[in-house]
Chain A
Amino acid sequence: MTRGTLTKTLVMVILLVLVLVLPLIVRNIYWRHVFILIAIMILATSSMRAIYRTGEVSLGASGFLLIGGYSSALLAIKLGLSPWITMPLGGLFAAAVAAAVGYPFFRMKGIYFVISTLLLAFVFLYLAGFLGQFTGGWQGLQFFFLSLDPITIGPLTITFTTQTNIEYYYLTIIIVGLCLFVLYRMEHSRVGLVWDSIKEADNLAQSVGVNIMAQKIFIFVVACFFTGLAGALYAFHVHALSPASTPANIFHFFTSVFCLLYMVVGGVDSFFGPIIGATLLMLISELSRPLQSYRPLLYGAILILVVFFIPKGLIAMNEYLPAWYRKLRGRLRRKASSQGA
């Protein structure tokens, strides 16, 4: 193994260990809740990135989160199914919607795709409020009584209560981890294939026998499945869903914008970009709770600054820093020489 790979693997192992022991270090239930949310957003953002790598930007994340969240909750409440079953079903619902709209959406040119996903998210938000009989209407849905059924592994019985969220934390980490693994594998196979073929002309890729459209739709469906799953994870964590059009609601389209932000800040070219971006920004936002009302403004400013100065994201800092340093040195040198002369 080269030294580079060794360091990388070491870093990953350390982070993995950190993630696993976190709830034991962090005693505060609120902060564990924050980390659970971060994990959920990492999943949503990574999914958005997978779609981005097919050449389109999707702002539908909030809509698919909603589909996953609501369907898993409603199936459990109305049909009495166990949340263990309804959570993946929530993901499947989201995937089904993605499959339905995939073909017509991907036929559209760039900006139209973005608009369509945005509108789709809006439509679902309104439907959630409008279909009151099913969805609890505009007040939203609360189901504090409903939790995941306890599971038994060998001699160990794990119960999920709203009192402590350690178990839920581990559940979330495991699920998100698995999904990220799948996304990672896809990244290096299909997604990479699609991305590279976009660099060449689409025609070229088709002549090689790769059905680009089908690949894109497949990736889109999988990404939306994960987003729906993330929504289901959210639902059974918070036990309350709402179709309100306020920015605080995760199903408001701001969330899609935030995912975009995390993706761009972290670095859109790297698989780990969304992870870095989401973790960093959400932590900053939590740590600056007193400045809560300034948060969107800060986020907006960060987006603009990132896009101007570090468009490749934080992960490319190792490229930017030496480049800036060189520029600065060059400028100082020129100044010195012009003064000396």
Chain B
Amino acid sequence: MLTAISWQDIVQCIINGLCMGGTYILIGLGLTLILSIMSILQFAHGEVYMLGAFTVYFLCVLNGVPLYLAVFISMLTTAGIGLILERVLLRPLKGVFMSYVCATMGLSLILQTAVVLAFYKGTKQLPSLWPGSFEVGGMFFSKERIVAIIIALFLSLALYLFLKRTKYGLAMTASAENREGSLMQGINPNVMSALAVAIGSGLAAVGGALGGSIFNLDPYMGGLAFMKGITLIVIGGLGSLMGTVAAGLVLGICESVFALFFGSQMGIIIPLVIVIAFLIFRPKGLFGHD
């Protein structure tokens, strides 16, 4: 296993890791937004990610819509679904722990089965974001992975600017930091929740599209995605955007490195164990505050 690992391999590995990290970030951001603002953990968020990917599949593969356009449309429709989800399911139930846990789990079962029935099981693939690779100094870089990293970082930056520079973004940050204080400035908590779920779902959809393009799609990809999201928010810290991004990149690279040296199974187990350790010893995560 340790034979002949070249620089090429290591660099590929890091790029791969950053790329996976990018998709994790897109899930994690939504999850942490919803958690900070609504104080609930959206158990069906992984399925929203999956839904975004399958929407792109439906548009692009089955109906010939150009890939990037399909991703954009999927982002919007999934955000819309998020709005409906918030209004119908999350808002009425968010006060009672058992209720929203059951309802979101139920939703996740429904979405998975619905997609299986609509598209039949089995893995599928989305077309490449940018086929081919380019060469720098004797090393080959997959173009699509670079594109994925750029998209993920771009969206993270966009979210950051939204939260820091726009009125509603600041209002959302405020709601997360002190709910009553925000109410006293006239901020409508329902609008904040709706925005959080919509934005989170839209980001997850793009994440799903990236994942589906670089790796593959299957109706059960949501469960693993959800686990990754949880890993990020626990390690990165609750309420911290930067923590989620940092944790995502680090997690992606770590998984990739572990997979390279120890096989892909370790790459999955080790982060889970680390998360449990964090939950026990440092539940606030690395950067968390709320």
Contacts and interface: CB of A to CB of B under 8 A. Distances in A.
A and B touch in the complex (CB under 8 A): yes
Interface of A: 57, 104-105, 107-112, 114-116, 119-120, 122-123, 126-127, 129-130, 245, 247, 253-254, 257, 260-261, 264, 268, 293-297, 299-304, 306-308, 311
Given A108-B283, A126-B268, A257 B230 contact: no
B129 interface: no
Contacts of A294: 113, 117
Interface stretch (B13-21, B95-103, B134-142, B197-205): B95-103
Nearest to A129: B265
5 smallest beta-carbon distances between A and B, as pairs: A303-B106, A300-B109, A297-B113, A300-B110, A300-B106
A257 B109 contact: yes
A57 B97 contact: yes
Contacts of A264: 98, 102
A22 B93 CA distance: 41
Nearest to A258: B109
A173 to B, nearest CB: 29
Contacts of A111: 40-41, 97
A130 B265 contact: yes
B272 A122 contact: yes
B114 interface: yes
B269 interface: yes
Contact of B280 (A57, A104, A126, A268): A104
Nearest to A311: B99
A34 to B, nearest CB: 21
B108 A300 contact: yes
A106 to B, nearest CB: 11
B107 A119 contact: no
Contacts of A247: 220
B260 interface: no
Interface of B: 40-41, 89, 92-93, 96-99, 101-103, 105-110, 112-114, 116-117, 220, 223, 227, 230, 234, 265-266, 268-269, 272-273, 275-276, 279-280, 283
B273 to A, nearest CB: 6
A42 B273 CA distance: 30
Contacts of B227: 119, 122
Contacts of A114: 41, 101
Given A296-B112, A303-B102, 11 more contacts: A57-B97, A119-B275, A120-B276, A126-B265, A130-B265, A130-B266, A245-B220, A297-B114, A297-B117, A300-B107, A300-B108
A85 to B, nearest CB: 30
A116 B276 contact: yes
A119 B276 contact: yes
B102 A119 contact: no
20 contacts: A57-B97, A57-B98, A108-B279, A108-B283, A119-B227, A119-B272, A122-B272, A123-B276, A260-B102, A293-B116, A294-B117, A297-B109, A297-B113, A301-B110, A303-B106, A304-B106, A306-B102, A307-B93, A311-B96, A311-B98
A12 B290 CA distance: 50
Contacts of B275: 119
Contacts of A57: 97-98, 101
Nearest to B106: A303
A304 B103 contact: yes
Contacts of A261: 102, 106
B116 A115 contact: no
Contacts of A307: 93, 98-99, 102-103, 106
A302 B110 CA distance: 10
Contact of A257 (B105, B234, B273): B105
B30 to A, nearest CB: 16
A301 B106 contact: yes
Contacts of B101: 57, 114, 260
